[in-house]
Protein backbone atom coordinates (compact mmCIF):
# COMPACT_ATOMS: atom_id res chain seq x y z
CA UNK A 1 0.00 0.00 0.00
CA UNK A 2 2.74 2.47 1.00
CA UNK A 3 4.66 1.69 -2.20
CA UNK A 4 1.56 2.37 -4.29
CA UNK A 5 1.07 5.71 -2.52
CA UNK A 6 4.70 6.64 -3.06
CA UNK A 7 4.30 5.90 -6.77
CA UNK A 8 1.14 8.02 -6.89
CA UNK A 9 2.93 10.82 -5.05
CA UNK A 10 5.75 10.86 -7.58
CA UNK A 11 3.18 11.16 -10.36
CA UNK A 12 1.40 13.98 -8.51
CA UNK A 13 4.70 15.83 -8.13
CA UNK A 14 5.40 15.37 -11.83
CA UNK A 15 2.04 16.88 -12.73
CA UNK A 16 2.60 19.70 -10.25
CA UNK A 17 6.04 20.49 -11.70
CA UNK A 18 4.48 20.64 -15.18
CA UNK A 19 1.89 23.06 -13.77
CA UNK A 20 -0.93 20.68 -14.55
CA UNK A 21 -2.72 21.87 -11.43
CA UNK A 22 -6.02 20.12 -12.10
CA UNK A 23 -4.25 16.81 -12.57
CA UNK A 24 -2.04 17.34 -9.52
CA UNK A 25 -5.05 18.27 -7.37
CA UNK A 26 -6.82 15.07 -8.30
CA UNK A 27 -3.70 13.01 -7.65
CA UNK A 28 -2.98 14.57 -4.25
CA UNK A 29 -6.63 14.24 -3.24
CA UNK A 30 -6.65 10.55 -4.15
CA UNK A 31 -3.56 9.97 -1.99
CA UNK A 32 -5.15 11.72 0.98
CA UNK A 33 -8.37 9.77 0.53
CA UNK A 34 -6.30 6.59 0.90
CA UNK A 35 -4.11 7.94 3.72
CA UNK A 36 -5.10 11.29 5.35
CA UNK A 37 -1.83 11.35 7.32
CA UNK A 38 0.34 11.91 4.22
CA UNK A 39 1.67 15.40 4.89
CA UNK A 40 3.80 15.16 1.75
CA UNK A 41 0.54 15.16 -0.24
CA UNK A 42 -1.43 17.55 1.98
CA UNK A 43 0.95 20.50 1.87
CA UNK A 44 1.28 20.66 -1.94
CA UNK A 45 -2.49 20.16 -2.25
CA UNK A 46 -3.00 23.22 -0.04
CA UNK A 47 -0.39 25.14 -2.04
CA UNK A 48 -2.46 24.64 -5.21
CA UNK A 49 -5.79 25.34 -3.50
CA UNK A 50 -4.34 28.56 -2.07
CA UNK A 51 -3.92 29.92 -5.61
CA UNK A 52 -7.23 28.62 -6.94
CA UNK A 53 -9.70 31.22 -8.22
CA UNK A 54 -12.62 30.51 -10.55
CA UNK A 55 -15.06 32.85 -12.36
CA UNK A 56 -18.06 30.90 -10.99
CA UNK A 57 -18.72 28.66 -8.02
CA UNK A 58 -16.84 25.39 -8.50
CA UNK A 59 -18.38 22.53 -6.47
CA UNK A 60 -15.40 20.18 -6.83
CA UNK A 61 -12.94 22.86 -5.77
CA UNK A 62 -15.15 23.85 -2.83
CA UNK A 63 -15.33 20.21 -1.74
CA UNK A 64 -11.54 19.88 -1.89
CA UNK A 65 -11.10 23.02 0.22
CA UNK A 66 -13.63 21.77 2.75
CA UNK A 67 -11.87 18.40 2.98
CA UNK A 68 -8.46 20.04 3.40
CA UNK A 69 -9.72 22.31 6.19
CA UNK A 70 -10.71 19.21 8.14
CA UNK A 71 -7.30 17.52 7.94
CA UNK A 72 -4.86 17.88 10.87
CA UNK A 73 -1.74 19.75 9.79
CA UNK A 74 -3.38 21.65 6.94
CA UNK A 75 -2.27 25.24 6.54
CA UNK A 76 -5.75 26.67 7.12
CA UNK A 77 -4.50 30.26 6.89
CA UNK A 78 -3.49 29.57 3.30
CA UNK A 79 -6.95 28.19 2.49
CA UNK A 80 -8.98 31.07 3.89
CA UNK A 81 -9.04 33.30 0.82
CA UNK A 82 -9.86 30.47 -1.56
CA UNK A 83 -12.67 29.31 0.72
CA UNK A 84 -14.26 32.74 1.04
CA UNK A 85 -13.88 33.28 -2.71
CA UNK A 86 -15.94 30.16 -3.43
CA UNK A 87 -18.53 31.10 -0.81
CA UNK A 88 -18.83 34.61 -2.20
CA UNK A 89 -19.51 33.18 -5.64
CA UNK A 90 -22.02 30.69 -4.30
CA UNK A 91 -24.04 33.19 -2.28
CA UNK A 92 -23.41 36.29 -4.43
CA UNK A 93 -22.09 38.23 -1.48
CA UNK A 94 -20.91 41.10 -3.61
CA UNK A 95 -24.55 42.21 -3.98
CA UNK A 96 -25.07 44.69 -1.13
CA UNK A 97 -28.84 44.58 -1.58
CA UNK A 98 -29.17 40.85 -1.07
CA UNK A 99 -31.24 40.18 2.01
CA UNK A 100 -30.24 37.11 4.03
CA UNK A 101 -33.68 35.50 3.86
CA UNK A 102 -34.70 32.40 5.80
CA UNK A 103 -34.03 29.98 2.95
CA UNK A 104 -30.56 31.44 2.46
CA UNK A 105 -29.79 31.13 6.17
CA UNK A 106 -30.94 27.52 6.18
CA UNK A 107 -28.74 26.77 3.15
CA UNK A 108 -25.72 28.31 4.87
CA UNK A 109 -26.41 26.37 8.06
CA UNK A 110 -26.14 23.15 6.01
CA UNK A 111 -23.09 24.23 4.01
CA UNK A 112 -20.02 22.33 5.19
CA UNK A 113 -17.54 24.75 3.61
CA UNK A 114 -19.30 27.73 5.19
CA UNK A 115 -19.31 26.17 8.66
CA UNK A 116 -15.72 24.94 8.41
CA UNK A 117 -14.40 28.27 7.13
CA UNK A 118 -16.06 30.26 9.91
CA UNK A 119 -14.97 27.78 12.57
CA UNK A 120 -11.39 27.05 11.52
CA UNK A 121 -10.14 30.27 9.93
CA UNK A 122 -9.80 33.98 10.55
CA UNK A 123 -11.88 35.53 7.76
CA UNK A 124 -9.73 37.91 5.72
CA UNK A 125 -12.16 39.28 3.16
CA UNK A 126 -14.10 42.47 3.89
CA UNK A 127 -16.89 41.70 1.39
CA UNK A 128 -17.45 38.31 3.01
CA UNK A 129 -17.25 39.93 6.46
CA UNK A 130 -19.82 42.59 5.58
CA UNK A 131 -22.23 40.00 4.26
CA UNK A 132 -21.78 37.76 7.29
CA UNK A 133 -22.47 40.71 9.60
CA UNK A 134 -25.87 41.02 7.92
CA UNK A 135 -26.34 37.26 8.26
CA UNK A 136 -25.41 37.49 11.93
CA UNK A 137 -28.09 40.08 12.59
CA UNK A 138 -30.70 38.14 10.60
CA UNK A 139 -30.07 35.11 12.81
CA UNK A 140 -31.02 37.08 15.93
CA UNK A 141 -34.76 36.36 15.86
CA UNK A 142 -37.16 34.82 18.34
CA UNK A 143 -38.51 31.35 17.63
CA UNK A 144 -35.69 30.66 15.19
CA UNK A 145 -35.65 27.15 13.73
CA UNK A 146 -33.27 24.69 15.35
CA UNK A 147 -31.62 24.32 11.95
CA UNK A 148 -30.13 27.82 12.34
CA UNK A 149 -27.99 26.76 15.28
CA UNK A 150 -24.95 25.34 13.36
CA UNK A 151 -24.54 28.66 11.57
CA UNK A 152 -24.93 30.65 14.79
CA UNK A 153 -22.30 28.53 16.51
CA UNK A 154 -19.93 28.78 13.55
CA UNK A 155 -20.26 32.57 13.64
CA UNK A 156 -19.58 32.48 17.37
CA UNK A 157 -16.39 30.56 16.65
CA UNK A 158 -15.44 33.14 14.03
CA UNK A 159 -16.04 35.93 16.54
CA UNK A 160 -13.66 34.25 18.96
CA UNK A 161 -11.16 33.67 16.14
CA UNK A 162 -11.03 37.35 15.16
CA UNK A 163 -11.29 38.49 18.79
CA UNK A 164 -14.67 40.21 18.30
CA UNK A 165 -13.27 42.74 15.87
CA UNK A 166 -16.22 42.77 13.46
CA UNK A 167 -18.35 45.94 13.64
CA UNK A 168 -21.37 46.20 15.89
CA UNK A 169 -24.04 48.91 15.93
CA UNK A 170 -27.36 49.88 17.48
CA UNK A 171 -29.31 47.55 15.20
CA UNK A 172 -27.23 44.61 16.45
CA UNK A 173 -27.82 45.65 20.05
CA UNK A 174 -31.55 45.97 19.45
CA UNK A 175 -31.76 42.55 17.78
CA UNK A 176 -29.90 40.95 20.68
CA UNK A 177 -31.97 42.78 23.27
CA UNK A 178 -35.20 41.46 21.82
CA UNK A 179 -34.16 37.82 22.13
CA UNK A 180 -34.51 37.16 25.85
CA UNK A 181 -32.32 34.73 27.79
CA UNK A 182 -32.96 31.27 26.39
CA UNK A 183 -30.24 29.02 24.99
CA UNK A 184 -30.57 30.37 21.47
CA UNK A 185 -30.19 33.95 22.76
CA UNK A 186 -26.98 32.97 24.55
CA UNK A 187 -25.68 31.44 21.33
CA UNK A 188 -26.51 34.65 19.45
CA UNK A 189 -24.72 36.78 22.04
CA UNK A 190 -21.65 34.59 21.53
CA UNK A 191 -21.52 35.91 17.95
CA UNK A 192 -20.81 39.37 19.37
CA UNK A 193 -18.93 38.98 22.65
CA UNK A 194 -17.48 36.44 25.04
CA UNK A 195 -19.93 34.41 27.08
CA UNK A 196 -19.21 32.61 30.33
CA UNK A 197 -19.04 28.85 30.60
CA UNK A 198 -22.14 28.86 32.80
CA UNK A 199 -24.18 31.09 30.52
CA UNK A 200 -26.60 28.30 29.53
CA UNK A 201 -27.94 25.08 30.96
CA UNK A 202 -28.62 23.72 27.49
CA UNK A 203 -26.23 20.72 27.26
CA UNK A 204 -25.20 21.22 23.64
CA UNK A 205 -24.65 24.94 24.04
CA UNK A 206 -22.86 24.51 27.37
CA UNK A 207 -20.44 22.11 25.71
CA UNK A 208 -19.84 24.56 22.88
CA UNK A 209 -19.23 27.47 25.27
CA UNK A 210 -16.83 25.27 27.23
CA UNK A 211 -14.82 24.80 24.04
CA UNK A 212 -14.61 28.56 23.57
CA UNK A 213 -13.62 29.25 27.16
CA UNK A 214 -11.57 26.12 27.84
CA UNK A 215 -8.52 27.16 25.85
CA UNK A 216 -8.43 30.55 27.55
CA UNK A 217 -8.50 28.85 30.95
CA UNK A 218 -5.67 26.53 29.92
CA UNK A 219 -3.61 29.51 28.76
CA UNK A 220 -4.06 31.28 32.09
CA UNK A 221 -2.98 28.13 33.91
CA UNK A 222 0.06 27.77 31.64
CA UNK A 223 1.40 31.17 32.70
CA UNK A 224 2.44 29.69 36.05
CA UNK A 225 4.58 27.07 34.29
CA UNK A 226 6.81 29.44 32.32
CA UNK A 227 10.09 30.50 33.98
CA UNK A 228 11.31 34.09 33.88
CA UNK A 229 15.03 33.90 33.09
CA UNK A 230 15.79 37.55 33.79
CA UNK A 231 13.74 40.65 34.71
CA UNK A 232 12.94 42.99 31.82
CA UNK A 233 15.19 46.00 32.36
CA UNK A 234 15.11 47.79 29.01
CA UNK A 235 12.40 50.49 28.81
CA UNK A 236 11.32 49.67 25.26
CA UNK A 237 11.31 45.95 26.05
CA UNK A 238 8.94 46.58 28.94
CA UNK A 239 6.62 48.69 26.75
CA UNK A 240 6.60 46.10 23.95
CA UNK A 241 6.09 43.30 26.47
CA UNK A 242 3.13 45.13 28.04
CA UNK A 243 1.50 45.53 24.63
CA UNK A 244 1.77 41.81 23.95
CA UNK A 245 0.41 40.97 27.40
CA UNK A 246 -2.77 42.76 26.37
CA UNK A 247 -2.77 41.42 22.80
CA UNK A 248 -0.66 38.26 22.44
CA UNK A 249 0.76 37.95 18.94
CA UNK A 250 0.36 36.33 16.50
CA UNK A 251 -3.25 35.19 16.61
CA UNK A 252 -3.28 31.68 15.12
CA UNK A 253 -5.53 28.63 15.27
CA UNK A 254 -3.91 25.70 13.46
CA UNK A 255 -0.33 24.61 12.87
CA UNK A 256 0.92 23.78 9.40
CA UNK A 257 2.69 20.42 9.35
CA UNK A 258 4.97 19.08 6.65
CA UNK A 259 7.15 16.00 6.34
CA UNK A 260 10.00 16.65 8.83
CA UNK A 261 13.35 17.38 7.21
CA UNK A 262 16.93 18.07 8.29
CA UNK A 263 17.17 21.84 8.13
CA UNK A 264 20.92 21.93 8.55
CA UNK A 265 21.53 19.41 5.77
CA UNK A 266 19.20 21.31 3.44
CA UNK A 267 20.80 24.69 4.11
CA UNK A 268 24.28 23.21 3.75
CA UNK A 269 23.27 22.05 0.29
CA UNK A 270 21.43 25.23 -0.67
CA UNK A 271 24.33 27.44 0.36
CA UNK A 272 27.16 25.08 -0.58
CA UNK A 273 29.06 28.02 -2.11
CA UNK A 274 29.74 29.29 1.44
CA UNK A 275 30.71 25.90 2.92
CA UNK A 276 31.86 23.51 4.06
CA UNK A 277 29.80 23.83 7.22
CA UNK A 278 30.60 21.92 10.41
CA UNK A 279 28.57 18.89 11.40
CA UNK A 280 26.67 19.48 14.65
CA UNK A 281 25.51 16.88 17.13
CA UNK A 282 21.83 16.00 17.18
CA UNK A 283 19.38 17.03 18.38
CA UNK A 284 20.18 20.44 16.99
CA UNK A 285 19.66 23.15 19.63
CA UNK A 286 17.49 25.87 18.08
CA UNK A 287 17.01 29.33 19.59
CA UNK A 288 13.79 31.22 18.78
CA UNK A 289 14.09 34.78 20.18
CA UNK A 290 10.82 36.69 20.03
CA UNK A 291 8.71 33.54 20.06
CA UNK A 292 5.37 35.28 20.53
CA UNK A 293 2.45 32.89 20.79
CA UNK A 294 4.56 30.04 19.46
CA UNK A 295 3.37 29.58 15.88
CA UNK A 296 6.84 29.84 14.34
CA UNK A 297 8.70 27.95 17.13
CA UNK A 298 6.16 25.14 17.14
CA UNK A 299 6.39 24.90 13.37
CA UNK A 300 10.17 24.54 13.71
CA UNK A 301 9.81 21.98 16.51
CA UNK A 302 7.31 19.93 14.49
CA UNK A 303 8.76 20.24 10.99
CA UNK A 304 12.53 20.22 11.49
CA UNK A 305 13.89 16.74 12.23
CA UNK A 306 15.94 16.08 15.38
CA UNK A 307 15.75 19.51 17.02
CA UNK A 308 15.23 20.89 20.52
CA UNK A 309 13.73 24.37 20.53
CA UNK A 310 14.16 27.13 23.12
CA UNK A 311 11.44 29.77 22.63
CA UNK A 312 11.86 33.05 24.50
CA UNK A 313 9.72 36.17 24.50
CA UNK A 314 8.96 39.30 26.51
CA UNK A 315 5.28 38.43 26.98
CA UNK A 316 4.14 35.80 29.46
CA UNK A 317 0.63 35.73 27.97
CA UNK A 318 2.02 35.05 24.49
CA UNK A 319 4.30 32.28 25.73
CA UNK A 320 1.44 30.70 27.68
CA UNK A 321 -0.57 30.40 24.48
CA UNK A 322 2.40 28.74 22.81
CA UNK A 323 2.87 26.30 25.68
CA UNK A 324 -0.85 25.47 25.70
CA UNK A 325 -0.85 24.79 21.97
CA UNK A 326 2.28 22.66 22.31
CA UNK A 327 0.44 20.49 24.83
CA UNK A 328 -2.70 20.39 22.68
CA UNK A 329 -0.68 19.34 19.64
CA UNK A 330 1.55 16.89 21.49
CA UNK A 331 4.80 18.69 20.61
CA UNK A 332 7.29 17.98 23.39
CA UNK A 333 10.66 19.08 21.96
CA UNK A 334 10.19 22.73 22.86
CA UNK A 335 10.73 24.83 25.98
CA UNK A 336 9.27 28.28 26.65
CA UNK A 337 10.84 30.96 28.85
CA UNK A 338 10.36 34.68 29.46
CA UNK A 339 13.44 36.78 28.69
CA UNK A 340 14.70 39.77 26.74
CA UNK A 341 16.89 39.15 23.69
CA UNK A 342 19.33 41.64 25.19
CA UNK A 343 19.84 39.29 28.15
CA UNK A 344 20.68 36.21 26.08
CA UNK A 345 24.44 36.43 26.76
CA UNK A 346 23.71 36.28 30.52
CA UNK A 347 21.98 32.91 30.29
CA UNK A 348 25.14 30.87 29.99
CA UNK A 349 24.00 28.73 27.09
CA UNK A 350 24.68 28.37 23.38
CA UNK A 351 22.76 27.20 20.33
CA UNK A 352 23.53 25.76 16.89
CA UNK A 353 20.71 27.47 14.97
CA UNK A 354 18.53 30.57 15.44
CA UNK A 355 15.43 32.02 13.78
CA UNK A 356 13.84 35.36 14.61
CA UNK A 357 11.19 36.65 12.20
CA UNK A 358 9.55 40.03 12.73
CA UNK A 359 11.26 40.74 16.05
CA UNK A 360 14.41 42.86 15.85
CA UNK A 361 12.58 45.78 14.20
CA UNK A 362 10.52 46.17 17.40
CA UNK A 363 13.61 46.76 19.57
CA UNK A 364 14.96 50.18 20.45
CA UNK A 365 18.36 49.07 19.13
CA UNK A 366 17.97 46.19 16.66
CA UNK A 367 21.74 45.91 16.20
CA UNK A 368 22.22 45.32 19.92
CA UNK A 369 19.62 42.56 19.73
CA UNK A 370 21.35 40.92 16.77
CA UNK A 371 24.71 41.21 18.52
CA UNK A 372 23.23 39.39 21.52
CA UNK A 373 22.06 36.56 19.25
CA UNK A 374 25.53 36.39 17.71
CA UNK A 375 27.05 35.90 21.16
CA UNK A 376 25.02 32.78 21.90
CA UNK A 377 25.09 30.91 18.57
CA UNK A 378 28.22 28.93 17.84
CA UNK A 379 30.34 29.45 14.70
CA UNK A 380 28.84 27.61 11.75
CA UNK A 381 25.26 28.16 12.99
CA UNK A 382 22.62 29.23 10.51
CA UNK A 383 20.57 32.30 11.48
CA UNK A 384 17.28 33.26 9.84
CA UNK A 385 15.94 36.80 10.24
CA UNK A 386 12.89 38.70 9.05
CA UNK A 387 12.61 42.50 8.92
CA UNK A 388 10.08 45.07 7.74
CA UNK A 389 10.66 46.75 4.38
CA UNK A 390 10.46 50.54 4.13
CA UNK A 391 8.87 50.55 0.69
CA UNK A 392 6.29 47.85 1.39
CA UNK A 393 5.12 49.46 4.63
CA UNK A 394 4.50 52.92 3.21
CA UNK A 395 0.75 52.34 3.63
CA UNK A 396 1.32 51.26 7.25
CA UNK A 397 3.25 54.47 7.90
CA UNK A 398 0.26 56.38 6.50
CA UNK A 399 -2.04 54.41 8.80
CA UNK A 400 0.17 55.09 11.83
CA UNK A 401 0.14 58.80 11.00
CA UNK A 402 -3.68 58.76 10.84
CA UNK A 403 -3.86 56.93 14.18
CA UNK A 404 -1.71 59.62 15.78
CA UNK A 405 -3.55 62.47 14.07
CA UNK A 406 -7.05 61.33 15.04
CA UNK A 407 -6.19 59.76 18.38
CA UNK A 408 -7.46 56.22 17.87
CA UNK A 409 -6.91 54.08 20.95
CA UNK A 410 -5.46 50.59 20.80
CA UNK A 411 -8.26 48.95 22.80
CA UNK A 412 -11.02 46.97 21.09
CA UNK A 413 -13.40 49.94 20.56
CA UNK A 414 -10.49 51.96 19.16
CA UNK A 415 -9.44 49.18 16.82
CA UNK A 416 -13.01 48.81 15.59
CA UNK A 417 -13.37 52.55 15.05
CA UNK A 418 -10.10 52.80 13.14
CA UNK A 419 -10.98 49.79 11.02
CA UNK A 420 -14.47 51.10 10.24
CA UNK A 421 -13.08 54.46 9.13
CA UNK A 422 -10.50 52.75 6.93
CA UNK A 423 -13.16 50.64 5.20
CA UNK A 424 -15.47 53.63 4.80
CA UNK A 425 -12.74 55.64 3.09
CA UNK A 426 -12.69 58.32 5.79
CA UNK A 427 -8.90 58.07 6.09
CA UNK A 428 -8.20 58.21 2.38
CA UNK A 429 -8.59 56.05 -0.68
CA UNK A 430 -5.20 54.43 -0.38
CA UNK A 431 -5.88 53.06 3.08
CA UNK A 432 -9.34 51.91 2.00
CA UNK A 433 -7.89 50.12 -1.02
CA UNK A 434 -4.70 48.64 0.41
CA UNK A 435 -4.92 48.13 4.15
CA UNK A 436 -7.68 45.44 4.11
CA UNK A 437 -5.42 43.40 1.80
CA UNK A 438 -3.02 42.86 4.71
CA UNK A 439 -3.76 39.61 6.52
CA UNK A 440 -3.21 41.26 9.91
CA UNK A 441 -6.07 43.71 9.33
CA UNK A 442 -8.59 41.05 10.31
CA UNK A 443 -8.14 40.22 14.01
CA UNK A 444 -7.72 42.50 17.00
CA UNK A 445 -4.25 41.36 18.09
CA UNK A 446 -2.99 41.22 14.53
CA UNK A 447 -4.31 44.70 13.74
CA UNK A 448 -2.76 46.20 16.85
CA UNK A 449 0.62 44.73 15.92
CA UNK A 450 0.26 45.90 12.32
CA UNK A 451 -0.67 49.54 12.87
CA UNK A 452 -0.52 50.43 16.58
CA UNK A 453 2.87 49.08 17.63
CA UNK A 454 4.80 51.07 20.23
CA UNK A 455 8.13 50.62 18.40
CA UNK A 456 8.86 50.03 14.73
CA UNK A 457 11.93 50.24 12.50
CA UNK A 458 11.83 49.71 8.73
CA UNK A 459 14.64 48.74 6.41
CA UNK A 460 15.91 48.89 2.89
CA UNK A 461 18.92 46.87 1.81
CA UNK A 462 21.31 49.73 2.52
CA UNK A 463 20.08 49.78 6.12
CA UNK A 464 20.22 46.00 6.23
CA UNK A 465 23.91 46.14 5.26
CA UNK A 466 24.51 48.65 8.04
CA UNK A 467 22.73 46.37 10.52
CA UNK A 468 25.03 43.47 9.64
CA UNK A 469 28.23 45.52 9.41
CA UNK A 470 30.83 44.57 12.00
CA UNK A 471 28.96 41.53 13.27
CA UNK A 472 30.34 37.97 12.85
CA UNK A 473 27.73 37.04 10.25
CA UNK A 474 27.88 36.24 6.55
CA UNK A 475 24.86 36.90 4.36
CA UNK A 476 23.82 33.78 2.44
CA UNK A 477 20.64 34.75 0.64
CA UNK A 478 17.08 35.97 0.75
CA UNK A 479 14.29 33.50 1.36
CA UNK A 480 11.49 33.97 -1.16
CA UNK A 481 9.71 30.71 -0.43
CA UNK A 482 6.83 29.84 1.89
CA UNK A 483 7.85 26.22 2.31
CA UNK A 484 11.22 24.69 3.05
CA UNK A 485 12.18 24.24 -0.62
CA UNK A 486 14.08 27.01 -2.35
CA UNK A 487 12.05 29.11 -4.78
CA UNK A 488 12.77 28.75 -8.48
CA UNK A 489 14.51 31.76 -10.00
CA UNK A 490 12.01 32.07 -12.85
CA UNK A 491 9.09 32.29 -10.41
CA UNK A 492 10.44 35.20 -8.32
CA UNK A 493 10.73 38.67 -9.94
CA UNK A 494 13.59 39.74 -7.62
CA UNK A 495 15.63 36.63 -8.45
CA UNK A 496 14.95 37.08 -12.17
CA UNK A 497 16.15 40.70 -11.98
CA UNK A 498 19.31 39.67 -10.13
CA UNK A 499 20.10 36.85 -12.57
CA UNK A 500 19.65 39.19 -15.52
CA UNK A 501 21.82 42.00 -14.13
CA UNK A 502 24.51 39.81 -12.53
CA UNK A 503 24.59 36.58 -14.56
CA UNK A 504 28.02 35.55 -13.27
CA UNK A 505 27.06 35.89 -9.61
CA UNK A 506 25.10 32.67 -9.34
CA UNK A 507 24.97 32.48 -5.54
CA UNK A 508 22.59 35.47 -5.25
CA UNK A 509 24.46 36.38 -2.07
CA UNK A 510 26.08 39.77 -2.73
CA UNK A 511 24.21 42.43 -0.75
CA UNK A 512 25.83 45.25 -2.71
CA UNK A 513 24.38 43.74 -5.87
CA UNK A 514 21.02 43.34 -4.18
CA UNK A 515 21.13 46.99 -3.15
CA UNK A 516 21.54 47.96 -6.81
CA UNK A 517 18.59 45.73 -7.76
CA UNK A 518 16.40 47.36 -5.09
CA UNK A 519 17.36 50.89 -6.12
CA UNK A 520 16.16 50.09 -9.64
CA UNK A 521 12.85 48.63 -8.44
CA UNK A 522 12.01 48.97 -4.71
CA UNK A 523 8.69 47.16 -5.25
CA UNK A 524 10.54 43.85 -5.70
CA UNK A 525 10.76 43.48 -1.93
CA UNK A 526 7.73 43.26 0.35
CA UNK A 527 10.05 42.81 3.31
CA UNK A 528 13.15 40.79 4.02
CA UNK A 529 13.57 37.22 5.15
CA UNK A 530 17.10 35.94 4.80
CA UNK A 531 19.70 33.44 5.96
CA UNK A 532 23.05 34.17 7.56
CA UNK A 533 25.83 32.00 8.93
CA UNK A 534 27.70 32.78 12.14
CA UNK A 535 31.40 33.12 11.26
pLDDT, one tens digit per residue, over 394-440 is 999 999 999 999 999 999 999 999 999 999 999 999 999 999 999 99
Segments of the chain scoring below 50 in pLDDT: 482-486
Does the N-terminal peptide bond of residue 391 adopt cis geometry, omega within 30 degrees of 0?
Answer: no
pLDDT at 10: 94
Helix (H) or strand (E) holding 112: helix 112-120
Phi, psi of 46 (to 5 degrees): -65, -40
Contact 165, 251 (CB under 8 A): no
Q: What is the DSSP letter of 47?
A: H
pLDDT at 191: 96
Q: What is the mean pLDDT of the chain?
A: 94
b/e burial code for range 119-131 (CB count within 10 A of at least 16 → b): bbbbbbbbebbbb
Neighbouring C-beta atoms of residue 436, cutoff 10 Å: 18
Helix axes 412-424, 394-406, angle to 10 degrees: 120
For the chain, which residues make up each domain, given as ranges? Answer: 1-91, 118-215, 235-390+458-534, 394-451
Percentages (nearest 5) of helix, strand, coil residues in the chain: 55, 10, 35
Q: How far apart are CA 481 and CA 140, in angstroms?
A: 44
Q: How far apart are CA 482 and CA 131, in angstroms?
A: 31
Considering the domain 1-91 in this protein, what is its CATH number? 1.25.40
pLDDT at 120: 95
Contact 533, 476 (CB under 8 A): yes
Q: Edge-to-edge strands of the sheet including 334-338?
A: 334-338, 307-313, 284-289, 351-357, 377-388, 527-534, 473-478
pLDDT at 99: 65
pLDDT at 414: 98
pLDDT at 324: 97
**CATH for 235-390+458-534 (3.60.110.10, 3.40.50.150, 1.20.1280.290, 3.40.640.10):** 3.40.50.150
Q: How far apart are CA 311 and CA 230, in angstroms?
A: 14
Neighbouring C-beta atoms of residue 2, cutoff 10 Å: 8
pTM of the model: 0.94
Q: How far apart are CA 110 and CA 249, in angstroms?
A: 33
Amino acid sequence: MAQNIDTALNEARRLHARRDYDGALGAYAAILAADPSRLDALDPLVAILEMARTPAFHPRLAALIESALALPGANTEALTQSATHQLALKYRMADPQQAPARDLLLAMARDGLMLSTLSNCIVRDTTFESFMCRVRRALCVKDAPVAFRPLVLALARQADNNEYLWPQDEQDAAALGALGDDAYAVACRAMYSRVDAGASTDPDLAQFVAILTGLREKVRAAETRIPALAPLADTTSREVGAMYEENPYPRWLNLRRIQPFDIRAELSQRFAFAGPFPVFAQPLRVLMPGAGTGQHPLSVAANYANVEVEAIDLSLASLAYGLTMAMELGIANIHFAQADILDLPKLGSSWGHAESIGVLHHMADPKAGLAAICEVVVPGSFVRLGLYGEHARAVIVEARDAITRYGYKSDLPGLRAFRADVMAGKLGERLKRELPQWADFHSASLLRDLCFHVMEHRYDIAKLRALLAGLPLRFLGFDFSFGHAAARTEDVPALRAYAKKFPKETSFSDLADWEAIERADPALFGGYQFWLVRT
